[in-house]
Amino acid sequence: MTVLLTYLCKVILCSAVLYSYYYIALRNNRFHQWNRYYLLLITMVSLLTPLLHIPLPGQDHESSRVLSYTARMINIRETVITANPGLSSGVILNALYISIIGLFITRIGISLFKIRQLIRRSQVQEIPPYRFVKNEAIKAPFSFFRYIFWDHHTSLNSPEGQQIFKHELVHLQEKHSADKLFMELVTACCWINPFFHLIKRELALVHEFMADKKAAGEEIAGYAQTILQMAFQSKQFSITNDFFHPPIKRRILMLTQFHTPRFSYLRRILVLPLAAFIFCSLAFVADKRPSAMRALTAIAPSSIESATTAVMDTTPVKNKAKGEVFTFVDQPPQFQGGEEALMKYLSKSIRYPKAAVEKNITGTVYVQFIVDQDGDVQDVHTVGKNLGFGLNEEAVRVVKAMPQWVPGMQNKRKVSVQFNLPIRFELDGKPAAGKTVTFAAPDNNEIFTFVEQPPKFPGGEEALMKYLSRNIHYPEAAQKAKTDGTVFVQFVVKSDGSITDAKTVGPKKGNGLEEEAIQVIKKMPKWQPGVQNNRPVSVQFNMPIKFALN
């Protein structure tokens, strides 16, 4: 109910502001076609603008922080183990609102059915592009889409009959019935919004003004007399266009008003900044995507055998890079010339340390560094096991000497990005001077912290939340001890989608919260694995699960 109520409040606010401008500046003016389109447009703007959520980019001056693949926070309350919570007030209000919508839609359906039945029982004459319908049950002339309904008491050949016929013909030509049916559906679905009902009534009057103006021609006095003589004829259906449409006073006023209001064009143009203000106020929101959540673990090295995983708290990481530091972005940083140029640079620049050659030491060094907004390489260090004999030092030296990169992009702006570079030292049996370094290609044992396509729970994030909400139960011991808080679960989504290495990081809450979170994570179905270089790879993932007591 909260989502629906918020949406309806935004719709009412938007339609109130835009209709108020119409009432003050545009109402009772002779630019009827403009007013027609304006009333239709403000209705659509009011309905659609609250549905838009255009994220605004984050501020550049925010404190530095390292980001990683992190799921949206999952809230688990002790009430999830309640067997049958019963109907909530929100469900009842939703059902009531939808029921009233159903009644209004039914009323529209009945009106359409009655019109259809009337056509079937009547004498229909095909006169393209319209159809002329006559029946004794018709009390007064009216039109609906391609049909003009005519009663037996009004003579079509009389001057009054010709004026009425021209009036209804304008409704057909301008397709006013489509406007009326649209507004009937809108007021049925948003019946709680009083401004939509005002817009519907005003739009029907604008239709009459347009038809009166074209049908009257030069015979304004005679046309006004016709309106007055037959003003008390009853209406047939609420969704049809009737010649005898009240209020009569405003219709005659529009016929006899010849002066052009001052600042006519200015009145119409001033609505543009007002509409822009409404759009920006309701459509733009702060960017709260999961990629902007803080990571609770340091980046895991890309080798299981030699990896050592460090854990850090939620304190923002301070480094030399400017602004916040991302681990995955819309457009990753790139070495000048691409990956082939990077491999050539490493092969030419790195020399196998003599001590490592003598001891026959091989292996992969994982260098971690930051490419800042300017493309400069910062904060270069190795992670994982130190191979020794100068291999780590040589890798760091060459990375620090790199030329500027093409910086990464996030939300169409340059950002600092953390980068992992595996460098594999291999001995080929040749003299030391000929030793080169191979830029390591990913293998099945590597674990990535960011990839081109992140891993995904089958069905998406909403399906993941439903799975956790249904399967996690608040431990009884934690409820009795009133233990709550957020448990951060870290696991690896392997290249086949299976879950492994599930563990918790950060301060322990106790009383079974960690154990409950881990056991549900381990039972998860296979994920869609992450993809790097067009092949599935293993990816580290963080998932915060919040246990909250009511």
Is the peptide bond prior to 529 cis by the omega test (within 30 degrees of 0)? no
**Per-residue pLDDT at 248:** 67
* Beta carbons of 164 and 141 less than 8 angstroms apart: yes
* Beta carbons of 295 and 314 less than 8 angstroms apart: no
**Per-residue pLDDT at 292:** 28
Structure tokens at 518: 């881990």
Distance CA 550, CA 533 (A): 47
Enumerate domains of the chain plus CATH numbers.
Answer: 3-83+94-231+246-283 (no CATH), 324-437 (3.30.2420.10), 447-549 (3.30.2420.10)
Structure tokens at 455: 């891993």
Q: What is the DSSP letter of 66?
A: B
Is the peptide bond prior to 129 cis by the omega test (within 30 degrees of 0)? yes
Q: Which helix (H) or strand (E) holds 516?
A: helix 513-522
- Residue whose C-alpha is closest to residue 227's, from 145, 144, 151, 167: 167
Return the number of other C-beta atoms located less than 10 Å from residue 147's C-beta.
21
Q: Which helix (H) or strand (E) holds 56?
A: strand 54-56
CA torsion angle 261 266 270 272 (round to 10): 110
Structure tokens at 198: 């005002």
Give tens-digit pLDDT for 403-426.
Answer: 998 888 887 888 888 887 878 777
Distance CA 536, CA 496 (A): 7
Structure tokens at 326: 């991302």
End-to-end distance of the chain based on CA atoms, in angstroms? 20
Give tens-digit pLDDT for 481-519.
Answer: 888 888 888 888 898 889 988 888 777 888 888 898 898
Residues of the chain under the 70 pLDDT cut: 1-2, 55-88, 218, 221-222, 225-249, 255-265, 283-323, 327-328, 427-445, 449-452, 550
Compute CA 231 distance to the chain's CA centroid, rounded to the nearest angstrom.
Answer: 50
Structure tokens at 529: 């694995």
Q: Which amino acid is at 536?
A: P
Return the number of other C-beta atoms located less than 10 Å from residue 286's C-beta.
11
Q: How many CA atoms lie within 13 A of 23 on its CB side?
A: 11
* Beta carbons of 526 and 494 less than 8 angstroms apart: no
**Per-residue pLDDT at 461:** 80
Distance CA 451, CA 463 (A): 22
Distance CA 233, CA 244 (A): 7
- Residue whose C-alpha is closest to residue 324's, from 60, 55, 542, 56: 60
Radius of gyration of the CA atoms of the chain, in A = 36
Instruction: Please classify residue 120 by burial: count the beta carbons closer than 10 Å to its beta carbon, then call 0-12 exposed, 13-18 middle and 19+ buried.
Output: exposed
